Amino acid sequence: MVTLEWTDRLAIVSLDRSDKRNALRSADWDDLTSAVRDAEGQGARCLLLTGAGGHFSSGHDLSEVEPGRTDARGLIARHVNPALVTLRDTTVPTVAAVEGVCMGGGLCIAAACDIVLCSDTARLGVPYARAGILADGGVHAFLRETLGHQWASYLIYTARSLTAEEAFARGLCNEVHPAGELQAAARAFAGMLAAGPTEAFRRSKRILRSMASGEEALEMEAEFQAEVFRTDDAAEGLAAFFEKRAPVFRGT
């Protein structure tokens, strides 16, 4: 089950199957796709991804797959990948609030977000090898890009998990918060982004998510800056700068 709630223009998407540590069935992946699309369609300026019951997600529910019988390619292509691509490609900032278990597909969801905040209780990993199966959900590319070939190989081959502090040290998360404080900190952080210059953020995200070279990124920045200069938020931000006050951005 995936729920969607709102705080002003902050959309909070929660993985809510706490009795199974938020393990995701095919229908849950579909619900995640729908929730992200609904949030953006309804004008969200930031998405916060979180899990119920003190855990983020233990990944795909393996009880619905059977080796030799399940159409693994079809399951991944129809349910898992669309959710991850939709989350990755949403145009507004995305934040994952990770506590407790964040394994397999759960880590893939967090990796699809722009910012990852962890509780000091979090453990992150890709334990596919323990089940004799291949890591999927884009985790090979994500871990290689973030950690380099050797560490990506190490985590995939050994199925070892990382503590929040280890994940922070290796660039897998941005902040670590004490147990019991993560959700409030994540809502405050995501709320700050939701109150930011949305159109500028949209374009920054496009540049960051592209595979542009340095020169290509320079061209994109010049083009997008010209667009952003025509927004209401740019006018407000510059006025606030010269008037020495805090800006009030409207997302337009």
Would the pLDDT of 187 be above 90? yes
**What is the tens place of the pLDDT at every residue in 2-40?**
999 999 999 999 999 999 999 999 999 999 999 999 999
In this structure, the number of other CB atoms found within 10 A of the CB of residue 58 comes to 23
pLDDT of residue 99: 98
CA distances to 8, 89, 109, 136, 220 from 14, rounded to whole Å, are 16, 18, 12, 22, 34
pLDDT of residue 67: 73
pLDDT of residue 63: 86
**What is the tens place of the pLDDT at every residue in 150-167?**
999 999 999 999 999 999
* Mean pLDDT calculated for residue range 160-183: 97
Look up the pTM and report it: 0.94
pLDDT of residue 68: 72
Q: Which is it for the CA torsion 55, 56, 58, 64, positive or negative?
A: positive
- Report the 3 state secondary structure along the chain: CEEEEEECCEEEEEECCHHHCCCECHHHHHHHHHHHHHHHHCCCCEEEEEECCCCCECCECHHHCCCCCCCHHHHHHHHHHHHHHHHHHCCCCEEEEECCEEECHHHHHHHCCCEEEEECCCEEECHHHHHCCCCCCCHHHHHHHHHCHHHHHHHHHHCCEEEHHHHHHCCCCCEEECCCCHHHHHHHHHHHHHCCCHHHHHHHHHHHHCCCCHHHHHHHHHHHHHHHCCCHHHHHHHHHHHHCCCCCCCCC
Pair type for strands 94-98 and 115-119: parallel
Report the amino acid identity of residue 18. S
Would the pLDDT of 66 be above 90? no
CB 118 within 8 A of CB 169: no
pLDDT of residue 143: 92
* Domains, the chain, ordered by start: 2-194 (3.90.226.10), 198-243 (1.10.12)
pLDDT of residue 65: 77
Average pLDDT in the chain: 95
CA distances to 32, 87, 133 from 73, rounded to whole Å, are 19, 20, 13
**What is the tens place of the pLDDT at every residue in 107-154?**
999 999 999 999 999 999 999 999 898 999 999 998 998 999 999 999
pLDDT of residue 211: 74
Q: Spell 155-174 as b/e; 16+ CB within 10 A means b.
A: bbeebebbebeebbebebbe
* CA-based radius of gyration for the chain: 19
